[in-house]
Structure 1
Amino acid sequence: MKKIWITSALVVVLATVALVFWNTKQSLQIIDSAQLSQWMTDEKDMVIVDLREPELFEEGRVPYAINISFAEINEKYRSIPTDKKVVFVCHTGRMGVESGNLLLENGYKDVANLDGGMAKWTGQVES
């Protein structure tokens, strides 16, 4: 009887720990152009990372963005500060999702992706 009680208690503790871990896991924020424009006005500690190829980045980008191409993100993501909000921008948003999840899996807490990427960006373009 005592073994059953101890086993049951252990199962409850492990389930509670798993539930807490599951609920505290960060998730990627998907934002639109209006939200990014607002953050650019309000947020001071934000890094916008353009994942497109350098040639496309030079042709036109979201203001204040830095360029780390998708091909390089696995090697260079550690250069992105962990204590700032990070927003990914790419062609249509798909590479940003993958890159955002990479950062979240590596301890970053505040990560977002521009839904639709540059194809749907309605704000100012810098070149």
Structure 2
Amino acid sequence: MNQINVMTVGELEKALDENRDLVVIDVRENEEVAQGMIPTAKHIPLGQIPEEVDHLDSSKEYVMVCRSGKRSMNASEYLSAKGFHKLNNLEGGMLDWKGELVF
């Protein structure tokens, strides 16, 4: 299995500020994302990842996000098994995110 990197909230904020070419995927449920998402994040609930995987570009870098980091790690492990190599799991998830939110 490929290595899944752990990214801190601070590292993600810096990467977004620098317009680094990465895709943030929020795997929380609809009622959770209604409370706010990281700007630029794409919402794919965890249960829909298997049907969405063919629409994702495996050459891109991804940051997986959930409430605390557990579901996003599950999503990262699934993508890793599907051949994705540039995966980051957001440590502490949205519980630790203090940055801007979009609704």
TM-score by length of 1: 0.75
Number of the residue aligned with 1:98: 74
Residue in structure 2 matched with residue 39 of structure 1 by the alignment: 15
Please report how far the alpha carbon of residue 41 of structure 1 lies from its aligned counterpart in structure 2 after TM superposition: 2.1
> Which residue of structure 2 lines up, in the alignment, with residue 26 of structure 1?
2
Q: Which runs of 5+ in 2 are unaligned?
A: none
Structure 2 partner of 1:87: 63
- Partner of 2:79, secondary structure, is helix
Identity across aligned pairs (percent)?
26
Of 82, 85, 89, the match for 1:109: 85
CA distance in 1, matches of 2:54, 2:99: 28
Change (3 A) 1:90 1:31: same
Q: Which stretches in structure 1 are left out of the alignment for 5+ residues?
A: 1-24
Q: Give me the whole-angstrom Cα distance separating, in 1, the residues matched to 2:95 and 2:8.
A: 11
* Count of equivalent residues: 103
Task: Give 1:43 shift.
Answer: 4.2
Runs of 4+ in 1 over 4 A off after TM superposition: none
Please identify the structure whose Cα radius of gyration is greater.
Answer: 1
Alpha-carbon shift at residue 40 of structure 1 (Å): 0.9
Question: CA separation in 1, counterparts of 2:20 and 2:94?
Answer: 22
What is the match of residue 99 of structure 2?
123
> Residue in 1 aligned with 2:43?
67
For residue 9 of structure 2, what is the amino acid of its counterpart? S
Q: Deviations over 1:59-79 (max 9, x none)?
A: 200110011001111221222
Correspondence for 2:30 among 42, 51, 54: 54
Report the Cα distance in structure 2 between the residues aligned to 1:42 and 1:85, rounded to whole angstroms.
Answer: 15
Identify, as 1 or 2, the structure richer in strand. 2
